[in-house]
Amino acid sequence: YQRRVRGGDVYSGMADTSAIKRAQALLRRDPLNPHRKLTSYMPSQIKQSVVRKTQRSVSEIAGMIESLKIEYTKLKGEIAADDDGIFEFHGARGLLERKIEECEDRLKKNRAKIKMFGESIGPLEQQYENLQKDSKVRFEDARKFYDIAIKMLVEKFDYNPAFKRPGDQI
C-alpha cells in the first residue's frame, strides 16, 4: 500500500523495518563510546575475584581522584592567596621605592645646603676660634690681676680672704 505525499514522494504504509532495527541498535550504544553496547550483562567467564580486584582498584582510583580534587581546590585557594600577596607586595614595594626617591632628593638638597653653609661659615668659624683664644688670654690676664689685687688688699688693708662675707664685693 503506497500513497503520494506532498512533493510527489512515495510513502509506504508499512514502516521500514531496517530503519527501526538501526534505531534500536543506536539506542543500545554507549553515547560516550559508540563502539560499545550498553548492557548490564556480565559474561560468566570473568571470575568473581577479578571483579572484586577491579572494583577495589576502581574505588582506590576514585579515592585518589577525590583526594586530588581536594588538593587541587586547596592549591587553587593558595594560588589565589599568593596572587593577593603578590599584589600587596607590589603595592608596598611601589610605596617604598617612592619613599627612597624622596629621601634621595632630600639628601641631595641637604648636601647642597651643607656645602653652601660650609663655604659661608668657614670664615666665621675661624673668627670664632680666634675669639675663644683671645677670651682665654683675657681671662688669664684678669685672673692674674685679681690675684695681684688680693695681695695688695692683704698687704695694705690687712684683708683676710678666709673671713670674706657672702655680700662682700671683693
- Digit-by-digit pLDDT tens for the chain (170 residues) are 444 445 455 545 455 567 777 777 766 666 666 666 666 555 556 677 887 888 888 888 888 999 999 999 999 999 999 999 999 999 999 999 999 999 999 999 999 998 888 777 777 778 888 889 999 999 999 999 988 988 888 888 877 777 776 666 65
pTM: 0.35
Write down the pLDDT at residue 28: 67
What is the dihedral sign for C-alpha 35, 38, 43, 46?
Answer: positive
CA gap 105, 113 in Å, rounded: 13
CA gap 152, 156 in Å, rounded: 6
